[in-house]
Amino acid sequence: MNEIAEKYLRQEALPMIFCPGCGDGTVLGAFLRAVDELKIGDQLALVGGIGCSGWMPVYVNVDTIHTLHGRAIPVAVGLKATRPDRKVVVFTGDGDAIGIGGNHFIHAARRNVDLTVIMINNAIYGMTGGQAAPTTPSGATTQTTPYGNPEDPFDACKLAEAAGATYVARWTAGHPRQLIKAFKEAIQHPGFAFIEVMTQCPVQAGRYIKGGLDAPEFLADIRKSVVTEAQAATMPPEELAGRTRIGLLHRSERPELTQRLAALNRGEKR
Amino acid sequence: MRGTFKIVIDAKWCKGCGLCLAECPKDVLQWSGARSAKGYNVPVQDETKVCTGCRLCELICPDQAIRVEGERQ
Amino acid sequence: MSEDGRKVRIIQGNEASVEGAIAAGCRFFAGYPITPASEIAELMSRRLPPVGGTFLQMEDEIASINAVIGASWGGAKACTASSGPGISLMQEGVGYAAETETPCVVINVMRGGPATGQPTISSQQDIYQARYGGHGDYEIIALVPSSAQEAYDLTIKAFNLAEEFRVPVYLLSDEIVGHTRERVVMGGPIEVRERVAPPKEGYRPYAAGPDGLLPGMPAFNDGYRLLVEGQHHDERGIRAGDDVNKSAALVQRLNDKVRKNIDRITDVERVDLDDAEVAVVCFGSTARPALEAVQSAREKGVKAGALRLRVIWPFPEKVVAELAGRARTLIVPEMNIGKLVLEVRRSAGGRAEVISLPRLGGALHTPEEVEGAIMDAVKGGNAR
Ligand SMILES: Cc1ncc(C[n+]2csc(CCOP(=O)(O)OP(=O)(O)O)c2C)c(N)n1
Ligand code: SF4
Ligand code: SF4
Ligand SMILES: [Mg+2]
């Protein structure tokens, strides 16, 4: 085990539940490195939803709450409102964040409450065994779309931006260095920061959507499907078609909720 | 100048996923063929290859099983 | 205001609950508007900011209870309020609070149901929902005020019990109590249980004392490195759902910590019970006509009395059993299909006749109606 993991993981909670080759562990590793570089361990309050991804913060040896399916964000709002100086980070899945928890997600973005929300997009419900998620591509077969998914997926980043998020980025589990930087930016960003991480789920999505790709093949496949702004600028349109944009997608400034609440406490505007 | 790097893979945590093998630009990691106590095939460092200390394997390993020892000089 | 800080105001039960909550140290409220509970959120939005607290109108009641859970671990005494439909949405969260031993207060200003039912009309239909609304085996505590004064007093008590027992505590108010304007004495020397931070040395967040209770309540970012886990867990908070023994022990303790400490929680008022042959067992707003009926019957020379329950969960079975050993008949008026009567009958164990006086539709029983039942019971008894 490497030094960062030794320093930050809750050893008595190991091993992590993730399947071999699951991207969740890589993303968690990037998060630990971001925390280490920021030196903010004591200020952290971590919140997990339910799903494979919801387990990520449970392994970090700081104050952590593992909540109900879809409800990580409102719990995080309660934590943040009671002590705005804490750095609250939510780990959530695509189903957790924009399926069952979609209403909380858009409203937290609208409020611009200072949270960092890390959403693992594996395009599937991993924990429950490979059913369709609101991110599952159209036509994909899963345990609940045996004839191909008759629905279209959400673009979570567009949803976040439209709802009012003030930091929006998308990376993949194959971009750990970029993730470390993005996590640092998001944690320091004074507002609702959203990071979607496209992640290989070799066991469920790999089997049902990708027809049996193993972890390295699956990650290579994800990398092939994405494009940065710089790459897009030089790419012919036919090559660009169907690729997902990654990188920092949106950044803006707007008054943050708990700062506004603190102004009420001080008697301003009352 | 390059340093000399040792890649330590902790068989207690490795789940044999192969991501580190695929990630290494210099093909430094190879399957050992030996099964860990948990039944996984754990990679080893191929001493004939040159590790540049890029730590991509350490970063990609989902189970934090890899430690790259040695400093870049 | 009097010398000892008491002040008297004419206010609604809902307002009294807000004042009680703030007096008890509540500094976080999250809610969503619903009749007949909206006044609680409205007044909280005015009252909390000046005392350093936070009011949030959430996107729904699910968010509200979960924000309350987050705030409680964040270090604040926290509360939400709603009515039937909203309380139904909160049930998964209430169960989570029970599992994770998160102190919090849930005020249900009961209205008629099911579904949208009767938004503006009172009921006592949700008493079993309070106890059994979420999945799995757990216990909560439920207090039932009969007046605006009790809405104040019992809200304070609800916060104290939530802290002491580390459970979600319901205040089961209703539309009548919530909306009736009455004289309420507030302030003065009230008893408030402050949060106590547990010692950090060797701290195991879920290691209970001999009474099954967890000592104190820690907060996030105070150096505990807490793990709050909704799956069954061990004393460290680490998941143990696949361990049958640890899981059984946790669920047993979550229930026993309320059941076995029932004597510390039970709160009843006894009216003319010493020689009563007929006793009315009543709670909440139906206690109002019930007490009038008992008084009127007494004036006519009938040996009537009343047992008024201020806490219905855990159900005071010993108190009711003891009463059933002395009184011949127990009458249970309630604004529902006849619910608490089942507990009364079970506790009476056949030693007294138990008569149900249910009422649907939301109109409160009249004193005459309850008195009529008392008189029938007396006659029936004589004829036997
Ligand atoms: C209210 C509720 N409904 C359903 C479930 C079952 N459940 C657990 S995890 C999950 C899906 C998780 O999918 P996602 O959020 O995408 O996370 P992943 O496992 O893919 O990381 C579901 C439906 C639950 N725990 N609670
Ligand atoms: S099911 Fe998929 S997402 Fe869940 S742990 Fe396994 S690989 Fe990861
Ligand atoms: S990436 Fe980690 S878990 Fe996977 S094979 Fe390499 S050392 Fe083992
Ligand atoms: Mg998923």
Domains in chain B, ordered, with CATH? 6-69 (3.30.70.20)
The answer to whether residues C56 and C167 belong to one domain is yes
The answer to whether residues C304 and C288 belong to one domain is yes
- CATH number for position C344: 3.40.50.920
Spatial CA neighbour of C45 closest among C61, C66, C28: C28
Angle between helices C91-100 and C61-73 (to 10 degrees): 20
The answer to whether residues C211 and C357 belong to one domain is no
Mean pLDDT by 10 residues, chain C (384 residues): 86 98 98 98 98 98 99 98 98 98 99 97 98 98 98 98 98 98 95 96 96 97 98 98 98 98 98 98 98 98 98 98 98 98 98 98 97 95 48
- Is A2 domain-assigned? no
**Atom of ligand 2 lying closest to residue A52 CA:** 4
Of C218, C237, C265, the residue that ends a domain is: C265
The answer to whether residues C50 and C63 belong to one domain is yes
Whether B62 and A3 lie within 8 Å, measured CB to CB: no
- Peptide bond preceding C114 in cis form (omega within 30 of 0): yes
The residue of chain A nearest to residue C50, with distances taken between CA atoms, is A265
User: Identity (one letter) of the amino acid at C293?
Assistant: A
The answer to whether residues C214 and C298 belong to one domain is no
pLDDT at residue number B2: 57
Any chain B CB within 8 A of the CB of A220?
yes
pLDDT at residue number C363: 95
**Atom of ligand 2 lying closest to residue A19 CA:** 6
Cβ neighbors of A49 (< 8 A, separation 6 or more) are A67, A68, A69, A70, A71, A72, A90, A91, A92, A93, A96, A97, A101
- CATH number for position C105: 3.40.50.970
- Is C150 domain-assigned? yes
pLDDT digits (tens, 9 = 90+) for C179-211: 999 999 999 899 999 999 999 999 999 999 999
- Is C163 domain-assigned? yes
Task: State in Å: Cα A124 to ligand 2 middle.
Answer: 9
The residue of chain B nearest to residue A199, with distances taken between CA atoms, is B62
| B1 Cα to chain A: minimum distance (Å) | 23
Q: Which residues constitute the domain of residue A98?
A: 21-265
- The interface predicted TM-score of the complex, written ipTM, equals 0.98
**Atom of ligand 2 lying closest to residue A129 CA:** 1
The answer to whether residues C285 and C253 belong to one domain is no
DSSP string, C298-340: HHTT--EEEEEESEEES--HHHHHHHHTT-SEEEEEESSSS-H
Query: What is the CA angle C211-C217-C223, rounded to 5?
Result: 130
- Is A238 domain-assigned? yes
Whether A1 and B10 lie within 8 Å, measured CB to CB: yes
- Is A183 domain-assigned? yes
- Is A36 domain-assigned? yes
Of C208, C233, C265, the residue that ends a domain is: C265
Which residue, judged by its Cα, is nearest atom 13 of ligand 1? A125
Of C265, C280, C297, the residue that ends a domain is: C265
Tally: H helices and E strands in chain B: 2, 4
The answer to whether residues C294 and C223 belong to one domain is no
- Is A14 domain-assigned? no
Q: Are A166 and A189 in contact (CB under 8 A)?
A: yes
Considering every ligand atom, which ligand is closest to the CA of A97?
Answer: 1
pLDDT at residue number B1: 39
pLDDT at residue number A268: 86
Any chain C CB within 8 A of the CB of A158?
no
* Any atom of ligand 3 within 6 Å of the Cβ of B15: yes
- pLDDT above 70 covers a percentage of chain A that reads 100
- Is C384 domain-assigned? no
The answer to whether residues C165 and C293 belong to one domain is no
- Is A3 domain-assigned? no
The answer to whether residues C167 and C248 belong to one domain is yes
- Is A16 domain-assigned? no
pLDDT tier for residue B71 given thresholds of 50, 70 and 90: confident
- CATH number for position A118: 3.40.50.970
Chains that touch C (3 or more CB pairs under 8 A): A
Which DSSP letter does residue C17 get?
H
pLDDT digits (tens, 9 = 90+) for A111-137: 999 999 999 999 999 999 999 999 999
Total domain count, chain A: 1
* Any atom of ligand 3 within 6 Å of the Cβ of B63: yes
Any chain A CB within 8 A of the CB of C98?
no
Considering every ligand atom, which ligand is closest to the CA of C93?
Answer: 1
pLDDT at residue number C4: 82
Q: Are C131 and C313 in contact (CB under 8 A)?
A: yes
The answer to whether residues C96 and C234 belong to one domain is yes
pLDDT at residue number A57: 98
Q: Which residues constitute the domain of residue C116?
A: 1-265
Which residue, judged by its Cα, is nearest atom 8 of ligand 1? A51
Is the pLDDT at B73 greater than 70? The verdict is no
**Does the pTM exceed 0.90?**
yes
The residue of chain A nearest to residue B9, with distances taken between CA atoms, is A1
- Is A10 domain-assigned? no
Any chain A CB within 8 A of the CB of B54?
no
The residue of chain A nearest to residue C224, with distances taken between CA atoms, is A63
How far is C-alpha A211 from the chain's CA centre? 25
Total domain count, chain C: 2
Considering every ligand atom, which ligand is closest to the CA of A50?
Answer: 1
pLDDT tier for residue B3 given thresholds of 50, 70 and 90: low
**Atom of ligand 1 lying closest to residue A99 CA:** 15
